[in-house]
Amino acid sequence: MKWNKGLTTTTSTTWNTPIFLFDKLNKEFEFTLDPCSTIKSAKCVTFYTKKENGLNQDWEGHSVFMNPPYGREIKEWVKKAYNESLKANTIVVGLIPARTDTRYWHEYIFNKAFDIRFLKGRLKFEKANGTTIGPAPFPSAIIIWSSDKNIKKEQK
Domain covering 27-146 assigned CATH 3.40.50 in the classification: yes
How many Å apart are CA 102 and CA 141, to the nearest integer? Answer: 14
Q: Predicted confidence band at 10 (pLDDT cuts at 50, 70, 90)? A: very low
**Strand 140-146, strand 91-97: pairing:** antiparallel
Contact 44, 31 (CB under 8 A): yes
* pTM of the predicted structure, to 2 decimals: 0.86
pLDDT in tens, 104-123: 999 999 999 999 999 999 99
